[in-house]
Amino acid sequence: MLRPEPGNAATAARIASAGHDALRLPFFAVAPLDWTPPDPAAHDALILTSANTLRHGGTALSTLRALPVLAVGQATAAAARTAGYQVLLTGTADAAQLLALAETHGITRALHLGGRERSIPESDIVAAAIAVYASEPLPITAGQIAALDDTVALLHSVRAARRLSELMPCRAHLRIAALSPAVRDAAGTGWAAAVTAATPQDAALIAAAITLAD
């Protein structure tokens, strides 16, 4: 798995419980950024595209707890509920699908809190986007890349897919499983095999990867 911690360890545990071995190679490490929360009265919803916002947003998040949450994915929604937020909508695909769903619920002034690399499309209903964390690239050696041969790489994000594409000049011996069509597209072509998870959830991605591995 190439995803950052703590997700890397969580995915590895799920793979192990399914009776398979996991090669852990995080491409990025997530770190908090300094940020200033806006006036919650200026917004009618809080968009969360990753549980990393809740892990790394710090105490400033508490000032926005009155805003209903629009979450991408069940994991992000669960993390928001645990942190004391009311989840209004949970998207089952990607940020674009969530925004379309939010529009039908009358959301017009949403605040997106996420990573430094924007992961949400431009939209009239997003009044502001603030970065509260950053995913910093970790050093990866040629030996680590070579160890991926004849394995299945699990790609949870567009950034991971792009970096794997850059680091892996010879792709004929590596299969990839992508969380979404956008992630798969970002990885490019030339892989030994490529599949997309049935739904953008870790369990579905693991199932797709096991299918390739078997």
Half-sphere exposure of 164 (CA within 13 A, CB side): 33
**φ and ψ of 5, to 5 deg:** -75, 155
Share of the chain residues as helix, strand and coil, in percent rounded to the nearest 5: 35, 20, 40
- Specify whether 18 is located in the same domain as 48: no
Mean pLDDT, the chain, integer: 93
- Specify whether 40 is located in the same domain as 98: yes
- Specify whether 23 is located in the same domain as 37: no
Q: pLDDT tens across 123-133, in order?
A: 889 999 999 99
- Specify whether 74 is located in the same domain as 153: no
Rounded to two decimals, what is the model's pTM? 0.86
User: Using CA atoms, how far apart are residues 5 and 10, in angstroms rounded to an integer?
Assistant: 8
Alpha carbon of residue 27 to chain centroid: 13
Q: pLDDT tens across 24-61, in order?
A: 999 999 999 999 999 999 999 999 999 999 999 999 99
Q: Does residue 185 fall inside a structural domain?
A: yes
Domain tally for the chain?
2
Residue at token pair 């398979």: 20
Domain of residue 145: give its range. 7-27+140-213
- Specify whether 158 is located in the same domain as 74: no
- Specify whether 132 is located in the same domain as 179: no
- Specify whether 115 is located in the same domain as 166: no
